[in-house]
Amino acid sequence: MSASATVAVLDYGSGNVHSAVRALERAGGTVELTRDTETLLNADGLVVPGVGAFAAVMEALNATGAPRWIGQRIAGGRPVLGICVGHQIFFERGVEHGVTAQGLGEWPGEVTALPEDVVVPHMGWNTVRPPEGSVLFEGIEDERFYFVHSYAVQSWDFDQTIPAMAPPKVTWSHHGTDFVAAVENGPLAATQFHPEKSGDAGTQLLRNWITSL
């Protein structure tokens, strides 16, 4: 991989994503914030950001037709990275304030509220527990990352039905309960935390991802 790897950041109206664009550029990518389908399909890597409510993010994605070609990229082995709610929407569903919204269903599990007896949102720096062989966390296994969320996936039950495929690598963190902080699954990876707000450690994680493209 050279520093000229192209990274498309999906522009579908999800808040301020310019910090993610700048962080990806610092990490060595040639980055474009875009909603052009051809660019999003053909870039070396695609980043799906997301802030706010699960249902609202899914509504915005569906309005642009993004789920179809995000699925095309994943099926074709083209790398995709989700961030924050852009991580959550790759699970089966999200439940917020009694409202259930369907996610993209790439992974099993529900996004549900963190325990009532902890401060929410979970905002600030926290450690993570990456598995052996993680690509994203290579060299930064003991670093802290910046989280801002009140909901998370708190259990993982992946039915590995294809023995020839390596099982997903799941990274955990803890805030009142264990929750999924990141997943690496072939071309699809995602982080609950914000690497673009996580200082040098976040930049290195993005560099690790770009290097793998």
Which residues are tagged catalytic?
84, 194, 196
The rounded distance, in Å, linking the Cα atoms of 142 and 167 is: 23
Contact 80, 189 (CB under 8 A): yes
- 194 phi/psi in degrees, rounded to 5: -100, 100
- 47 phi/psi in degrees, rounded to 5: -110, 130
Give the helix ranges, DSSP H, for the chain.
18-26, 37-42, 54-64, 66-75, 85-88, 199-211
Residue 63: name the closest of 16, 11, 22 by CA: 11
Contact 96, 80 (CB under 8 A): no
Packed helices 18-26 and 199-211: angle between N→C axes, nearest 10 degrees: 70
